[in-house]
Amino acid sequence: VVVRSASIVGPGEPALAKQKHHHRKAFECISRALKLDEEDRGRKEQAIELYKRGIEELEKGIAIEIIGQGDVFDRAKHLKDKMRANLAMAKDRLEVLVTGRNLAARKK
Amino acid sequence: ATSTLNAPQGEVDSLMHEVADEAGLELNMDMPQSSTSIASSQSTKEQDELSARLARLRQA
């Protein structure tokens, strides 16, 4: 019988805990930004602020070095890649909103 | 019923935010999480959800 022990990661892995923390905060901010942004007449100003906060959290999360072997580390590296992709996309979206806002302001 | 246990964290969170928004409350962002403190497949799914929604906006 082969017992595959799950990789147990305790408090000795602060990097992973920190990564998860920033992932969570980024997810919360960007989810809320998206919710506003997805509405046609959504509160774009608020969405811009939430995107900015989410982007900061993603940057903090990506900055964390994930060094280690095993399932949990593989998963953490995978998560880091996803966060990096979302950082680029969120930045693009933020730029679109900011540009749109500036154009609207100039027309007034 | 397992369905209640399997409710995706992302959906639960956005529902909570919806309720909080309506009530004009600011959710405490540092609420302790029920799950472990390491990246899970759930976290990856949540990032995927953001990717999909961001991509949709880009096409709009």
Whether chain B has a CB inside 8 Å of the CB on A93: the answer is: yes
| Architecture of the structural domain at A14-107 | Up-down Bundle (1.20)
Q: Pick B43's closest partner by Cβ from A13, A79, A93.
A: A79
Q: Pick B47's closest partner by Cβ from A21, A35, A83.
A: A83
pLDDT band of residue A23 (cuts 50, 70, 90) is: very high
Chain B neighbors of A20, CB-CB under 8 A: 33, 37-40, 43
Whether residue A27 has pLDDT greater than 90: yes
B10 or A8, greater pLDDT: B10
Ramachandran class of B24: left when φ > 0, alpha when ψ lies in -120 to 50, beta otherwise: left
> What is the DSSP track for A19-54?
HHHHHHHHHHHHHHHHHHHTSTT--HHHHHHHHHHH
Whether chain B has a CB inside 8 Å of the CB on A38: the answer is: yes
Condensed to tens digits (0 to 9), the pLDDT of residues A29-51 reads 999 999 999 998 879 999 999 99
Lowest mean pLDDT among A6-20, A71-85, B18-32: B18-32
- pLDDT of A42: 76
Contact indicator for B53, A38 with CB cutoff of 8 Å: yes
Chain B, residues 11-40, CB within 8 A of chain A, namely: 13-14, 17-18, 21, 27, 29, 33, 36-40
Chain A neighbors of B37, CB-CB under 8 A: 16-17, 20-21
Per run of 10 residues, the mean pLDDT along chain B (length 60 residues) is 61 75 56 52 94 93
Lowest mean pLDDT among A42-46, A50-54, A55-59: A42-46
